Structure formats: C-alpha cells, structure tokens
Amino acid sequence: MIIIGGDALALSTARELCLVPGHRIVVLWPEDVEFARAVAQVGALFVAGRPDSRDGLNAAGVAEAVTILALSRDDQLNLQAALRARDANPGIRIVLRQFNRTLAAKIEQNLANCSVLSLAWHSAATYAAAALDSSCFRGLQFPEPDGPLTGFALRLAEDERIAGHNIVRAEQALGARIVAINGATDLSVDAAIPANARLVCYGPL
C-alpha cells in the first residue's frame, strides 16, 4: 500500500496499517528527514519523491501496490497522484482525501474501485479501514484508543449468502455484528434476513 502525505494524518494512517499483518506500507512524499524518521518508527518505508510523478510512484512500487491512499492537504495533488497510479496500475484501489464534498461525490461516482472521504470523515482509522475494505465507511480503534482496528461496513445479503438466515446465524457467518437491516435498527434476533437486504455491520478488520 502507498500513502501520499506528509502530515500527522498520513503518519497515523501508516501506523494503523502497519498493525495489520500481511501488508507492506510505503509513504511517498518529498524529502523530509524528520518525517522519514517518524515513518520508519511506525514500521513503514519512506520513499522520497513527488507523489504526482511517474518516477515517484514507480519508486514507491505502484505496479505491485493493491491500494493508494492520497491523503495530503492538497485536493488537486491527491487526485493527480491517484489518477497517475491508476494509469500505472489499473487494478489499484484508490482512497482519496478531498475537502470539496461536491467534487468528492462526483469522483466516487465516476472512478471505479475508489473511496473518497471528505473533511467530516477525516480520521486515520477511517482511511485505514477504507483501504482494507472497500465497503467500510467508518473506522475506529476499539475498545481503547490504541486498540484493534474495527469498522462499520455495508454488506448485501445476497453477496454474503445469508438471506433467509436469522441474525444470530448471519452474524456467525459474517464474523461481525449486524446493526441495521435496510435502515432499521430495531432488530429481532429470530427474524429472517430478507433477500436483497442491505446490512450495516460492525466488526474487526
């Protein structure tokens, strides 16, 4: 995974992702000795380079990366870096920070395999969660501030093959708690989950 950014959000997100086994985390940003040292301390690799340049992205390993998280304070830089990464690696997943909510919504509608998070959702845990699970819309560390990464995510009953199951069986199959079904939160544990139901689930990532 590649993180674009040179501030506390990028560093916190790198720290969150380094706690999840099986991922190589690279932070791409122009040369900054102090920031590079902080990145190394959380377990990620710092690569010095321009985030919106082909050379910088190649040095960060864009061809093999599964996800790019463009989290700088510059909307235009984030979008340019993400689009260049997609050109170099058509299968890469994009998580994009955008302050402009209208633009954020348009980008997410028109760019496949992309999550765009606007100012209201800025938290390292949410960016990390979205990088790991495309349907996750809110991440947090629970039950302690430095606890394991958890998140709220959307699931479709058909996709998960749980239509017709009661909530207890469905939660066992999902490995997560079901907190809403088709927007309803007053749930009976014995009720059967309808076909085509949209579920909001909460659990570990």
pLDDT, position 186: 87
Q: Are 51 and 57 in contact (CB under 8 A)?
A: yes
Distance CA(125)–CA(34), nearest Å, equals 23
Q: Under 8 Å CB-to-CB from 131, ≥6 apart: which residues?
A: 1, 13, 17, 67, 69, 93, 95
Q: Is the pTM here over 0.85, yes or no?
A: no
Mean pLDDT split into 10-residue runs, the chain, 205 residues: 95 90 94 97 97 97 96 94 96 90 83 79 73 83 75 89 91 92 88 91 89
Q: Under 8 Å CB-to-CB from 95, ≥6 apart: which residues?
A: 67, 68, 69, 70, 71, 114, 115, 117, 127, 130, 131
Provide the CB-side half-sphere exposure for 131 (13 A, CA).
30
Q: Tell me: the pLDDT tens digits for 34-87?
A: 999 999 999 999 999 999 999 999 999 999 999 999 999 999 999 999 999 999
Distance CA(101)–CA(14), nearest Å, equals 24
Q: Domains of the chain, with CATH numbers? A: 2-133 (3.40.50.720), 152-204 (no CATH)
Phi–psi pair at 192, nearest 5 degrees: -80, 140
Distance CA(134)–CA(138), nearest Å, equals 11
Q: Are 178 and 200 in contact (CB under 8 A)?
A: yes
Distance CA(57)–CA(68), nearest Å, equals 10
Beta strand 198-204 with 177-181 is: antiparallel
